[in-house]
């Protein structure tokens, strides 16, 4: 008997928790600012409605119809497609190995926030004292014990979150979804009440409509939606497979998509109001201090916290607690997708699968705790996200659109959902989304052929992708499942 969600709220919160992650805070605001400011909202909303929500519906619908994890669901379409499900799960698993390390950094910074241990030279603290960053990717050095402790704490947290599958996940998300929202709202209010905040928000939202004529801006909007909704990992397929038979699909996807985008939008206020304050205090322009990615979380934000007139430590703790709670449900959803795949394929108990996946994930993350960890993380992330994930999304669209037939899945989800989809959904899955993903993939490929990513040896990312592909093929052949 397959596990079931306790309630619709549990499923929706888990899907929202999985979609909302660190990228909502450190990627969206910066991408919006770089691509037309307020005008970016137009392609972003178009991308959400024409590709993001249709893809969520595809994954929810597939998981629910097939009642299985990603490999199982693809195998039920045709056995020869099972490897696509495994490829998705292995990409997800590869990502969680370093995602857990970033969360380990958050654990470390949460501890340091109590005493503002990063001091005045925040950049030096992050790269030298905290990461012990070596001079290049070839100089691996040793494992950093404090990062190792953070990594271990993250994996222990993940293990306990998924210990009883969707039963425990359903309870955990009651805390890990509202808590970061609360932290985000506190930080946004604190941010917009600081001097200079208005200038920062103007940078974030002042529209540059001329940017909308550039195809790159539209592509950036589709890429942001694709990377932000936890699509292509097999997570949403696994989560939807635990839904009871009479569950809605379409409206749950709409709620998940809109909640994710609203979180990103609000995060922009927290980030840019604080950057406005930083610009004012350091007598620079907002453009000079604007940052995204780990640089925003571990350098810019601690610098802002240092400059706060009162309660610096409190806001430091709130910020890193927010990052931790934002990240944990994305992390355990990535692991749950892999656990569901393992359980479906090899008929192993949840307890054994949980332990095996968590231990392998922890061991896989050790390389990122070394002195060259940041370099390796950077290159692996680039290849898994820009090639692996986009390829999975593309294959999903092609298999559902042309093999299973989009119309078949549309009729299925319409039969159980609170509102109906029209043929426009078929168009999105068969033409629009694959077209955008092919374009993304081609542009990334051309870029990598021209020059290796970040000056790192070009072979590293390709080898990782090739290994994942081979393992996916092997997994599709060994063991047995009901599909066999």
Partner 1 sequence: MSIRNLIIPLALIIIVLLYFLTEPWIAMLVFGFAVLVGGLIWAFHIAVKVPGGFDERARPEATGDSGLSQVQRETGRERG
Which position among 124, 135, 193, 206 is part of the footprint of partner 1 (CB under 8 A)? Answer: 206
Nearer to partner 1, 204 or 475 (CB): 204
Q: Supply angle C-alpha 336, 18, 313, rounded to 5.
A: 115
* CB of residue 26 to partner 1, shortest distance in Å: 19
Nearer to partner 1, 26 or 204 (CB): 204
CB distance 400 to 429 below 8 Å: yes
- The window from 78-86, 201-209, 358-366, 436-444 that contacts partner 1 (CB under 8 A) reads 201-209
**312, 266, 338: which is closest to 85 by C-alpha?**
338
* CB of residue 361 to partner 1, shortest distance in Å: 32
Which position among 202, 382, 407, 448 is part of the footprint of partner 1 (CB under 8 A)? Answer: 202
Which position among 111, 160, 265, 412 is part of the footprint of partner 1 (CB under 8 A)? Answer: 265
**Rounded CA separation 464/123 (Å):** 30
458 binds partner 1 (CB under 8 A): no
- The window from 251-259, 356-364, 387-395, 435-443 that contacts partner 1 (CB under 8 A) reads 251-259
Residue given tokens 């430091």 in the structure block = 316
CB distance 38 to 207 below 8 Å: yes
Which position among 160, 258, 412, 469 is part of the footprint of partner 1 (CB under 8 A)? Answer: 258
| Helix/strand/coil (H/E/C) assignment for every residue in 187-229 | HHHHHHCCCCHHHHHHHHHCCCHHHHHCHHHHHHHHHHHHHHC
Distances (CA, A) of 447 to 64, 214, 451: 38, 18, 6
**110, 161, 146: which is closest to 331 by C-alpha?**
161
- The window from 146-154, 258-266, 425-433, 461-469 that contacts partner 1 (CB under 8 A) reads 258-266
* CB of residue 41 to partner 1, shortest distance in Å: 5
Is residue 143 helix, strand or coil?
strand
143 φ, ψ (degrees, to nearest 5): -75, 135
Nearer to partner 1, 28 or 83 (CB): 28
255 binds partner 1 (CB under 8 A): yes
Following DSSP, what letter does each residue of 332-380 receive, concatenated? HHHHHHHHHHHHHHH---HHHHHHHHHHHHHHHHGGGGBTTHHHHHHHH
8 binds partner 1 (CB under 8 A): yes
Following DSSP, what letter does each residue of 4-58 receive, concatenated? --S-HHHHHHHHHHHH-SHHHHHTHHHHHHHTTGGGGHHHHHHHIIIIIHHHHHH
Nearer to partner 1, 351 or 420 (CB): 420
427 binds partner 1 (CB under 8 A): no
Nearer to partner 1, 111 or 265 (CB): 265
88 binds partner 1 (CB under 8 A): no
207 binds partner 1 (CB under 8 A): yes
**Rounded CA separation 182/195 (Å):** 22
Binding residues for partner 1, how many (CB under 8 A)?
34
Which position among 13, 157, 172, 254 is part of the footprint of partner 1 (CB under 8 A)? Answer: 254
Nearer to partner 1, 36 or 150 (CB): 36
* CB of residue 371 to partner 1, shortest distance in Å: 42
Q: Which of residues 20-59 bind partner 1 (CB under 8 A)?
A: 37-39, 41, 45
Nearer to partner 1, 116 or 416 (CB): 416
Which position among 178, 244, 311, 423 is part of the footprint of partner 1 (CB under 8 A)? Answer: 244
CB distance 51 to 396 below 8 Å: no
Which position among 7, 135, 193, 285 is part of the footprint of partner 1 (CB under 8 A)? Answer: 7
Which position among 120, 142, 213, 246 is part of the footprint of partner 1 (CB under 8 A)? Answer: 246
Residues 6+ apart with CB under 8 A from 380: 94, 98, 460, 461, 464
Nearer to partner 1, 157 or 270 (CB): 270
Q: Which of residues 407-426 bind partner 1 (CB under 8 A)?
A: 414-420
Which position among 201, 331, 374, 377 is part of the footprint of partner 1 (CB under 8 A)? Answer: 201
* CB of residue 200 to partner 1, shortest distance in Å: 11
Nearer to partner 1, 385 or 417 (CB): 417
Nearer to partner 1, 10 or 334 (CB): 10
**Rounded CA separation 420/114 (Å):** 51
5 φ, ψ (degrees, to nearest 5): -65, 145
**Rounded CA separation 246/265 (Å):** 33
Site residues (vs partner 1, CB under 8 A):
7-9, 37-39, 41, 45, 201-202, 204-207, 244-248, 251, 254-255, 258-259, 261-262, 265, 414-420
């Amino acid at each position: 008997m397959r596990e079931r969600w306790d309630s619709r709220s549990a499923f929706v919160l888990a899907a929202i928790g999985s979609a909302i992650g660190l990228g909502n805070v450190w990627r969206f605001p910066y991408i919006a600012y770089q691509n037309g400011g307020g005008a970016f909202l137009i392609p972003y909303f178009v991308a959400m409605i024409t590709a993001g929500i249709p893809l969520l519906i595809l994954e929810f619908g597939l998981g629910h119809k097939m009642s299985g994890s990603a490999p199982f669901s693809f195998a039920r379409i045709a056995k020869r497609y099972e490897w696509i499900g495994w490829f998705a799960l292995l990409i997800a698993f590869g990502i969680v190995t370093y995602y857990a390390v970033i969360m380990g950094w958050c654990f470390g910074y949460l501890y340091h926030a109590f005493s503002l241990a990063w001091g005045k030279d925040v950049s030096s603290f992050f790269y030298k004292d905290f990461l012990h960053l070596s001079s290049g990717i070839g100089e691996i050095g040793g494992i950093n014990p404090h990062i190792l402790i953070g990594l271990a704490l993250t994996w222990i947290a993940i293990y306990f979150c998924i210990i009883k599958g969707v039963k425990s996940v359903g309870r955990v998300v009651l805390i890990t979804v509202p808590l970061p929202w609360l932290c985000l709202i506190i930080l946004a209010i604190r941010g917009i009440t600081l001097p200079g905040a208005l200038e920062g928000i103007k940078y974030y939202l002042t529209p540059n409509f001329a940017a909308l004529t550039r195809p790159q801006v539209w592509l950036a909007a589709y890429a942001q939606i694709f990377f932000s909704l936890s699509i292509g990992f097999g997570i949403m397929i696994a989560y939807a497979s635990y839904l009871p038979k009479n569950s809605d699909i379409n409206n749950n996807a709409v709620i998940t998509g809109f909640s994710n985008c609203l979180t990103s939008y609000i995060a922009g206020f927290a980030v840019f109001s604080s950057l406005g304050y930083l610009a004012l205090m350091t007598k620079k322009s907002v453009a000079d201090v604007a940052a995204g990615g780990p640089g925003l979380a571990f350098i810019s934000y601690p610098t802002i916290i240092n400059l706060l007139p009162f309660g610096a430590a409190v806001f430091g703790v709130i910020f890193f607690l927010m990052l931790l709670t934002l990240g944990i449900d994305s992390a355990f959803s990535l692991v749950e997708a892999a656990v569901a795949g393992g359980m479906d394929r090899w008929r192993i108990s949840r307890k054994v699968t949980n332990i095996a996946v968590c231990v392998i994930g922890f061991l896989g993350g050790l390389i990122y705790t070394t002195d060259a960890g940041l370099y390796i993380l950077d290159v692996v992330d680039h290849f898994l996200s820009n090639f692996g994930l986009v390829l999975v999304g593309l294959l999903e669209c092609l298999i559902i659109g042309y093999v299973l037939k989009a119309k078949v899945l549309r009729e299925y989800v319409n039969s159980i959902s609170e509102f109906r989809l029209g043929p426009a959904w078929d168009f999105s899955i068969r033409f629009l989304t694959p077209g955008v993903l092919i374009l993304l993939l081609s542009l990334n490929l051309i870029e990598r052929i021209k020059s290796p990513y970040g000056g790192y040896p070009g072979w590293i990312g390709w080898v990782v992708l090739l290994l994942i592909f081979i393992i996916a093929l092997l997994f599709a052949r060994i063991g047995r499942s009901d599909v066999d």
